[in-house]
Amino acid sequence: MFPLVVNLLSRLIPLWVVVACLNCCPAQADADPVVYVTMVSHFDRPWAMTDGDLVALEKLTRFHPRMRWTHLYNPVAYTQDTPLREAMERFVKQTRDHHAAEIGTHLHMYKSLLTAAGVKFVTHPSVTAEQVEGSRDDSGYAVPITRYSREEIGRLLEHTRKIYQERGLGQPKTFCAGFYATSLDLQNMIAAHGYTTSAAAFPTQTIYGAQYAPSWHALSGWNASVTYKSRPYRISQASILPGHEAPFINAIDKQPLVEIPQTCKIDWMVSAEDMKVIFKEHLAIARQGATTAICLAIHETSSEGNFDKFHQVLRYIDEHIHSGSQPQVKYITTAELRDRILEPN
Ligand SMILES: [Zn+2]
């Protein structure tokens, strides 16, 4: 009798261990710390994009086939004359359909967009001034979205959704306002409008790269708690900044809205060397045991001018991936990164 029981147990135990393990360790592809690499395109002045800029973005896609774009596309292309609109729309859709890119949203407070959305256009304040008082931008480009009411922001987001739907661009998941300005109101509004991810947290210091004008520091919502070393984080209901606790702002999937810090600032502010050093700093973070992410960012209208810089940095990252060395490095879109960050460990 006893040997029979032992025999039965020995058959059951491995099965039990497997079942228990499946229960306690849900599918987790990245048990070891990973450095995720996101690459965002900012559509700032789509009407000023040239054929050369489009070719540069296409070349980055072709030369770095593992890289995954998160396009921060701009509905303003549909509210004023934009010569390359069809070509750029084709490009973002083509990368989505063939290179697993994501199409997110970038909004600057231009008159044509605001008028189309039924929002009254204003020119004060400007984030590019020496001081907030008396600052203005007649184009609206440098006026932060956060100076508009929740109701007005809601109209802008709804108008964006409508344009994206009409143009077959899908439901955007990642949001970034012009000059990275945000607030708790804005974060709550994007969550309510179907966004899951914010790509706005911006390093305020100059350890690597240049910084914005003094009025930006007063108006953007960011402070020294965001650095080139910041990791993605759940956005608290108490603050847009890193390091705050639950309860979090939930997206419509009932999971927290996640912030993807813009660790490498943006094209004109940083050199290829700056971006490589920041990447290496995040490799060190992963070696110490924490999964982390960097974000590279390029403007559509200066992609030809910045092509060499990004080609060089992406080649450096590609080489790390190709070598198979640790820690593991993976390209990902910002919204997929958000889902990955929220997976149970
Ligand atoms: Zn912009």
Ligand 1 centroid – CA 298 distance (Å): 10
CA 137 to ligand 1 center in whole angstroms: 14
Split the chain (345 residues) into runs of 10 and give each run's mean pLDDT.
45 42 40 95 98 98 98 98 98 98 98 98 98 98 98 98 98 98 98 98 94 96 97 98 98 98 97 98 98 98 98 98 96 98 84
Q: Can you give the pLDDT at residue 345?
A: 60
Give domain status of residue 12, yes or no.
no
Which residues are near ligand 1, the ion (C-beta closer than 5 Å)?
42, 44, 178
In-domain check, residue 319: yes
Full DSSP string of 207-238: SSS----HHHHHHSS--TT--TT---EEPBSS
Instruction: Examine residue 7 and state whether it is found in any structural domain, yes or no.
Output: no
Residues 311, 128: Cα–Cα separation, whole Å: 29
| 188 domain residue, yes or no | yes
Query: Cα(210) to centroid of ligand 1, in Å?
Result: 16
Query: Ligand 1 centroid to 182 CA: how many Å?
Result: 13
Q: Report how far ligand 1's centroid is from the alpha carbon of 44 (Å).
A: 4
Residue 65 lies in a domain: yes
- All residues at 6 or more sequence positions from 178 whose CB lies less than 8 Å from its CB, including other chains: 44, 106, 107, 108, 109, 141, 142, 144, 145
pLDDT at 326: 95
How many Å lie between the centroid of ligand 1 and the Cα of residue 41? Answer: 9
Helix, strand, or coil (residue 192): helix
> Residue 257 is part of a domain; what is its CATH number?
3.20.20.370
Number of domains the chain contains: 1
Ligand 1 mean position, distance from CA 43 (Å): 6
Domain presence at residue 13? no
Sign, CA dihedral 188-72-262-334, equals positive
* Residue 257, in any domain of the structure: yes
Residue 31 is predicted with a pLDDT of 74
Judge whether 308 lies within some domain. Answer: yes
CA atoms of 212 and 198, how far apart (whole Å): 20
Q: Which domain holds residue 287?
A: 31-342
